[in-house]
Amino acid sequence: MVVGALELHLRLEGVGSLKEKRAIVRSLVDRLRRRFCASVAEVGDHDLWGNAAIGVAVVGADVRTVESVLSQVVEVLDSDPRFEASVARREVSVV
């Protein structure tokens, strides 16, 4: 079994309230969960309007598959104009 995890920091562009931020983050979390069958959650910066921290975890049978899914998650985030994403931490472990 292989476990992969990402911690991502998002800088949200043009967000004026926590309500607006939460709508964007909730939409993103739901989209990543559906598309990648991954565990996704907001893991930090809860009360900051312009920032968010997202955690993504994936389990698979081999390293190549897990690495591929993590890379696809990053690509999806990079293509979204609502924020600028950076990978704070990326880990893949064979359990």
Mean pLDDT, residues 40-46: 92
CATH code of the domain containing 60: 3.30.70.1120
Q: Could you tell me the pLDDT band of residue 43, with boundaries at 50, 70 and 90?
A: very high
Q: In this predicted structure, what is the pLDDT of residue 45?
A: 84
Q: What is the mean pLDDT of the chain?
A: 94
Q: Which residues pair with 92 in a beta bridge?
A: 4
Instruction: Identify whether the C-beta of residue 10 lies closer than 8 Å to the C-beta of residue 85.
Output: yes
Q: In this predicted structure, what is the pLDDT of residue 47?
A: 84
Domain extent at residue 42: 2-94
Q: What length is written for the chain?
A: 95
pLDDT digits (tens, 9 = 90+) for 12-32: 988 889 999 999 999 999 999
For the chain, how many structural domains are there in total? Answer: 1
